[in-house]
Amino acid sequence: MRPADHPSIPIPRVGVLLVNLGTPDAPTAKAVRRYLKQFLSDRRVVEISRLVWWPILNGIVLNTRPKKSAHAYSLVWTEAGSPLAAITKAQAAALQVRLGAAVMVSHAMRYGNPAVGAEVQRLKDAGCERILVAPLYPQYSAATTATVADAVGAQMAKMRWQPALRSLPPYYDDPLHITALKDDLTRQLAALEFKPEVLLLSFHGMPQRTLELGDPYHCHCQKTARLLREALALEHPDLRIELSFQSRFGRAKWLEPATDAVLAAEARRGTRRLAIAAPGFSADCLETHEELAIRGREQFVEAGGEQFAALHCLNTSDAGMAMLEALVRREIAGWI
């Protein structure tokens, strides 16, 4: 029998923590500056000497970029907050329903709120002695997936009573992921008012140097695109599928071809109907809503294109949630 003065201990549970990149708390220059400072101070995100980067970050970037980015965020902000935050929260809620009471599902942002460390602690305080950390990045990169492990590790270093951990592996070539993308993109393509000649698969860019240092991200993106191209070929034999990388920043050489350059080149070569999708993102965000859907359309039309559609990410679609549930259940097998 437990002594009357024994501390209360929650019933042991299994926790699942969905983690995405992050977002400012508001579409204001102040909030964006705070977010960018945290994001761009990460040594895995910017892999150059602090002696070189620190003056650039604090003297130039954080004094010029926040206002511009805040305007971009204001174009896509919703009553529920930023698209990325709202959708990731909705994914966690939908996954909770699918997994039931035996599992406690939470979500966190690697940069911004809710913070990874705080959510790990909250799950442990609620009795989750076993936690699956699920970075929602299909393709592995040190600048994304590895930083989640860093944040979890930093929190674990502070904890006397640590939970047991598992991590969701990258799922860039998982049949569950490819099938979900195929099914959801097929649904969206069928709903368009025009038949695209080209489907452009736009992945977030990384500096070319990351590939040369051994980061597998470029190869993962290429394989996702190849498998998706093969999966869509049967139902869309006349659809040409291309790959590109978006969100170039700074003067360094980035992975190519660049999305903005491809959009203009396609229009100039005679492509009049184009759809664009972002299979490297698990949820719509600034990069899909503003960079692709708004600026991408402008770039394509200004170069001579006529019909353009930005397709949604998997988000909380039936295909996306079925995939996420299956991936998570596979990784927590033996725990429940």
Q: What is the pLDDT of residue 249?
A: 82
Sign of the Cα pseudo-torsion (188, 192, 198, 200, in order):
negative
C-alpha span between 326 and 320 (Å, rounded): 10
- Region 208-233: mean pLDDT is 97
C-alpha span between 194 and 79 (Å, rounded): 31
**pLDDT one-digit tens code per residue, 285-319:** 999 999 999 999 999 999 999 999 999 999 999 99
Cis before 24? omega within 30: no
Q: What is the pLDDT of residue 30?
A: 97
C-alpha span between 268 and 261 (Å, rounded): 11
Residue % of the chain over a pLDDT of 70: 97
Q: Kindly indicate the confidence band of residue 248, based on its pLDDT and cuts at 50, 70 and 90.
A: confident
Q: What is the pLDDT of residue 149?
A: 98
**pTM assigned to the model:** 0.95
Q: What is the pLDDT of residue 1?
A: 62
Q: What is the pLDDT of residue 7?
A: 67
Q: What is the pLDDT of residue 303?
A: 98
Q: Which two tokens stand for residue 311?
A: 């397709």
Q: What is the pLDDT of residue 6?
A: 62
- Alpha carbon distances (Å) from 248 to 39, 216, 255: 16, 18, 9
Give me the residue label for tokens 């998997």: 314
Question: Which are the contacts of 178, defined by CB distance < 8 A and separation ≥ 6?
Answer: 224, 227, 228, 231
Whether 252 shows a pLDDT value over 90: the answer reads no
| CB neighbours of residue 287 within 10 Å | 23
Burial class (CB in 10 A: 0-12, 13-18, 19+), 129: middle
C-alpha span between 110 and 131 (Å, rounded): 17
**pLDDT one-digit tens code per residue, 26-37:** 999 999 999 999
Half-sphere exposure of 238 (CA within 13 A, CB side): 5
Supply the DSSP string of 125-158, one letter for each residue.
HTTEEEEEEEE--SS--TTTHHHHHHHHHHHHTT
- Region 263-271: mean pLDDT is 98
Q: What is the pLDDT of residue 222?
A: 98
Average per-residue pLDDT for the chain:
96
Whether 250 shows a pLDDT value over 80: the answer reads no
AA letter at 331 = E
**pLDDT one-digit tens code per residue, 161-180:** 999 999 999 999 999 999 99
Supply the DSSP string of 219-257, one letter for each residue.
HHHHHHHHHHHHHHHTT-TT-EEEEEEE---SSS-BSSS
**pLDDT one-digit tens code per residue, 109-147:** 999 999 999 999 999 999 999 999 999 999 999 999 999
**pLDDT one-digit tens code per residue, 1-26:** 666 666 667 778 999 999 999 999 99
Beta strand 240-246 pairing with 103-111? unpaired
Q: Which domains does the chain have, with CATH numbers?
A: 13-170+320-331 (3.40.50.1400), 175-310 (3.40.50.1400)
